[in-house]
Chains A and B, each alone.
Chain A
Amino acid sequence: MKKILVAASMFMSLVYQVSYGQTYMKIHRNNGSTLEIPVNTIDSVTYSTISSNLVNSKGNISIDLSHKFGMMNEQTLAIGKPVVHPMKGDTMTFSKFKYFISNVKFKNADGMYWTEGESYHLVDLAKPESLNLSFKDLPAGTYTQMEYTIGVDSARNVSGAQTGALSTTNDMYWSWKSGYIMLKAEGTYKDNNADKMFAFHLGGFSGANNIVTKRTMVFEGATALTVTKDQTSTVGVEVNPGLLWHSAPSVKEVNMIHMPGAAAKLMALGDSGMGFFANPMYSFQVKSVK
C-alpha cells in the first residue's frame, strides 16, 4: 500500500494526463513531451525502471546535423561555398537552405516511445544554432531509433496561425495558396560562366502533391544510442541535399519551383522514393554517437 502512494505521488507531480489506449499507455508530461509504453511490455517494466528511469533518471539527446554534397558526402555544403552536383555536373552556390524536421519520437529498447511536445524544427544552414536539434529529459536507457518527419504535417497546414518554428516570420509560408514551404533552396549556378539564380520552394501536404515524409533513423552497432542520467548524448548526422537533384533535372533546365506539384514532388521524393525527403539511407546518415 505504501508503494502505491509513493508511485501515485511521484506520478502526480509528473503526469499531467494519462490515457490508456489499446496498445500503448500514454503519459503526458508537464513539459509537453509524451511517453508511450506498449501495454504488452508492461509486465517486464519493473518498479526500479519506472521510478529511476522514467522519473528520476533523465538525460538529453542532441542531433548534430552537418550538411554535405556529392555522391558519398565528399563535399561540405555551406552558405556561399560552391559545390558540384556529382551526376549533373552543375556548380551551385547556396545563399539559403532551410527545411523543416518535425514530429520527433525516440523509441527505446523496450518499445517505449518518447515524443517531443510541439515538435517543429526549422533547420537553417545560415543559423549554426539551428543545426543542433536538442531533446531534453528523456528517460535514461538505450534508444534504437528516432522517428521524424521532413516537412510539416497536413494538420498544421490547415489550422490557421502558428508560432515558434512555424511562425510566418521565418518566411517559409505561401500566403496566396495556404501552406508551408517545407524546403527552401536558393542561390546561383554557373551557366557558361554566367552566374544565374536558382530558387526552389518545395511544399505540398495533400493529395497527389503531398511531399511530407515520415522517416526513421536507426541507432545500432557502432552508433548505438544510450541516454545516461544528466548527460547529453550527441548523434552526428550527415545530411546530403545533393539528392534533391539526383532525379530532378539539371538546374540549367529547371531553376525555379514555386508551388506544390509534380516538379516539387520529383525533387523532394525522387524517382522511386530515392530523393532527399524519402531516401531511406543516404539523405540523413547517422555517423557517430558520443
Chain B
Amino acid sequence: MRIIPLLLILFILTSCKKEAIIKPVTIPNLNSDTNTFSFEKPVGFPNPFYNFSNNPLTQKGFELGRFLFYDPILSLDSSVSCNTCHAQQHGFSDHNVPLSKGIFGFSSTRNAPALINLAWSTSFMWDGGVNHIEVQPLVPLTSEHELGETMANLVEKLNKNVFYKKKFKEAFGVETITDQKLLHALAQFTSMLISSNAKYDQVMAGKTNFTPQEQQGYELFKIKCANCHTEPLFTDYSYRNSGLESKFKDIGREKVTQDPADRGKFKVPTLRNIEFTYPYMHDGRLFNLEQVLAFKSNGIQDSPTLDISLKNGLNLSKDEQKAIIVFLKTLSDNTFISNPKYAEPVNQQ
C-alpha cells in the first residue's frame, strides 16, 4: 500500500491545477476598519522602515496610542506622561530644558529628541540601543528616571481601568490588555507623527521659491551638512562623532556596541522643525541655532573617532552661518506642530 502519498500529491496537484510547487498561502491582514485611515508616504520620501506588518494600523489603534501618549497613568505615581518630555509645540521634543524631568523630578541623562518621521528610523535613541519602534517605549516606561513603572504592574493597572479596557477592545478586539497591545498602540501613534509640509517641501514641490538668502543657505547646506543630515528626512540615520567633545562624558554608541571605534558617536538627528526643538545636541548643551552654527563652524573638537568629513572643520563665515540658519527655518512645519490629530485628546475618562 503505497497509494496515499500519491493520493496526497494528486490532491495537492489537482487542487492547484498545474503548479508543481505550491507556495505557502499568505493570509492578508484583514483590517476591521476599512475606512480611509492609512499611512501616507509623503511625495519624495523613501519607503518607511516600519510597515505595520504585525500591527495593522487603524483609526482606533492610533487614537488609543494618542490617549496613552498623553496619559500619566503610564507612570508610577501618575505624574508624568510621554508628553511631559515630548511636547507637540516643540516638535515632540522636551519643553526647552536640556535634561527632561521624570517622576519625582529625577533628571533623565540625555535631551529628549524630537519625535518626527520615526517610521523611517531603523534604530532609536541617541545611541541606537533600541532596534524597533514598538519596543522603544519600554525604555521610558521602565526607566526609574522617567516613568518608573514595571511592565507587569502597568499591564495590571491598565486592566483595572474601565476606560482602557473598552479602548483596547475597540482597537484590537482583546478582552485582556497585554504589553504587546500597549506597545502596538503607542507605535501606531508615534509612527504616524509625520512632518512633510514645511516651506522646504513646498519649494521642492515647485509651489513656492526660496528667498535668495534661503537659497544661499540651502546651497551651503548641501555641501557642508547633507552628507549627514541627508534630504528629505534630514538625517541618514547613522551614528557619528560630530566633534562636540574630545573627552567624552557620555560615550554614546560605544555603550551599546562596546566597540571603542564608536566612542562619542550619536544618532544624526533630523533637522525638520529644528527651530522648535531647542536646546540642541544629545545633552541639550546648545541653546540656539547661532550657537550650533558657531560650534559647527569652528568649535569642532578632534578625537580618534571624529567623523572624517569634519577633520578640517566646516569653516563657515558669519554670513554663511546666518544663511544656513535662515534655510534651516524653512524646515519648520506649522501644520505639524499644530495638527489637531496629534494634540492632547479631550479627556473622556
Contacts and interface: CB of A to CB of B under 8 A. Distances in A.
Interface in A233-266: 259, 261
B258 to A, nearest CB: 6
A18 interface: yes
A178 B131 contact: yes
Contact of B258 (A20, A26, A46, A261): A261
A158 B132 contact: yes
7 contacts: A42-B9, A47-B7, A161-B135, A163-B180, A169-B155, A173-B135, A176-B130
Interface stretch (A4-12, A132-140, A214-222): A4-12
A157 B54 CA distance: 14
B4 A173 contact: no
B21 A20 contact: yes
Given A42-B5, A45-B4, A169-B155, A178 B258 contact: no
B187 interface: yes
A63 B283 CA distance: 52
Given A20-B12, A163-B179, A175-B141, 12 more contacts: A4-B11, A42-B5, A160-B187, A161-B187, A162-B180, A163-B178, A167-B178, A168-B135, A169-B151, A175-B135, A175-B143, A177-B129
A176 B8 contact: no
A168 B138 contact: yes
A20 B22 contact: yes
Contacts of B25: 17
A46 B1 CA distance: 6
Contacts of B184: 161
Interface residues of A, number: 41
A4 B10 contact: yes
Which 5 A-B residue pairs are closest in the complex by CB-CB distance?
A: A160-B134, A175-B138, A161-B183, A42-B5, A47-B4
Interface string B168-191: 000000000011100110010000
B312 to A, nearest CB: 34
A281 interface: no
Contacts, number: 119
A156 B344 CA distance: 33
Contact of A11 (B8, B133, B180): B8
Contacts of A43: 2, 5
A42 B2 CA distance: 8
Contacts of B1: 46-48
Contacts of A157: 131
Contacts of A4: 7, 10-11
B162 interface: no
B3 A3 contact: yes
B54 to A, nearest CB: 6
Interface string B1-42: 111110111111001000011111100000000000000000
A167 B2 contact: no
Interface string B281-314: 0000000000000000000000000000000000
A163 to B, nearest CB: 4
Given A19-B24, A160-B132, A162-B180, A45 B138 contact: no
B142 interface: yes
Most chain B C-beta atoms within 10 Å of own C-beta, residue among A50, A167, A171, A176: A176
B96 interface: no
Given A7-B11, A11-B8, A171-B150, A178 B179 contact: no
Contacts of B261: none
Interface string A69-105: 0000000000000000000000000000000000000
Contact of B179 (A7, A20, A167, A177): A167
B174 to A, nearest CB: 10
Nearest to B10: A4
Contacts of A51: 4
Interface in B186-212: 187
Contacts of B152: 169, 171
Interface string A10-25: 0100000111100001
Contacts of B132: 158-160, 178
A193 interface: no
A3 B139 CA distance: 59
A62 to B, nearest CB: 27
Contact of A45 (B5, B20, B258): B5
Nearest to A177: B129
Contacts of A272: none
B59 interface: no
Interface in A149-200: 157-163, 167-169, 171, 173, 175-179
B238 interface: no
